[in-house]
Amino acid sequence: MHILQLFKESTQLMTFLSLVAAGLVYVFLTWILGQMGGGDVDDHDHDHSHSHQGHDGHDEHGHTTVKIFSPKLIAVFLIGLGSGGSIATTYGYSALVSTLIGIASGLSLGGTLFIFFKALYSQQSNSSLIVERAIGNTAIVNIEIPVNGSGEVGLSLNGQYVTCFARSRDNQAISRGTSVKVTSIEGSTLVVELTQYA
């Protein structure tokens, strides 16, 4: 009986540890593939309104959204489930109790991550919406725009001051302090021209 009990506990522990390993392997592979292809890495936004790729999804406007049953959140849930279950098993709890503790742990970890990303993506989407309204507005060059290069401009949108990467429409240099007009947007970069041409 003692040997059978040890075998059951060992199998139970290995099952939970396997869940942890599966979740970690998925997260690690996702990170590696993202580094190689640039498509699945959390490319966090700065005040320059960089675009985001490789997240859980996009809404009808093309803005980043997060899904409850996304592979990443499921992987995090598995890590929480396996970790909680493993700890409970080492304390001598039965498979049922350990599983319930693991599920609670997984839901807690996954839920916390879901709430965090939902808030983060919402803020980023709001920032993107503001920048999309920049077309036709006047901005001031904060960092000189070089020939065939990008600089930075600042402008006020809906009462909020924002700074964005910008390049000249005719690929000419524009010095710092110059007033420009936003003519279009290319990805996360504003395309501008001198206001005297507008």
Residues 151, 141 contacting (CB under 8 angstroms): yes
Q: What pLDDT, on the 0 to 100 scale, is given for residue 51?
A: 39
Q: What's the mean pLDDT in 23-42?
A: 68
Query: What are the distances in angstroms from CA 12 to CA 34, 94, 108, 154?
Result: 34, 9, 22, 59
1 pLDDT more than 80: no
Domains and their CATH numbers in the chain: 2-43+55-132 (no CATH), 138-197 (2.40.50.140)
Tokens 């309104």 locate to: 49
158 pLDDT more than 80: no
Residue 168, beta-bridge partner list: 192
38 pLDDT more than 70: no
Residues 198, 139 contacting (CB under 8 angstroms): no
Q: What pLDDT, on the 0 to 100 scale, is given for residue 185?
A: 84
Q: What pLDDT, on the 0 to 100 scale, is given for residue 152?
A: 92
180 pLDDT more than 90: yes
Q: What's the mean pLDDT in 49-77?
A: 60
Report the candidate in 118, 110, 108, 112 with the shortest Cα–Cα distance to residue 66.
118
Helix (H) or strand (E) holding 190: strand 189-194
Q: What is the pLDDT of residues 96-150, one digit of tens each?
A: 999 999 999 999 998 888 888 777 666 555 556 566 777 888 899 999 999 988 8
* Strand stretches in 27-174, DSSP E: 57-58, 64-65, 138-143, 150-157, 160-168
Q: Using the 8-state DSSP alphabet, how is residue 45 labeled? A: -
Q: What pLDDT, on the 0 to 100 scale, is given for residue 144?
A: 93
69 pLDDT more than 50: yes
Q: What pLDDT, on the 0 to 100 scale, is given for residue 50?
A: 40
Q: How confident is the model at residue 22 (pLDDT cuts 50, 70, 90)?
A: very high
Tokens 């599966």 locate to: 22
94 pLDDT more than 50: yes
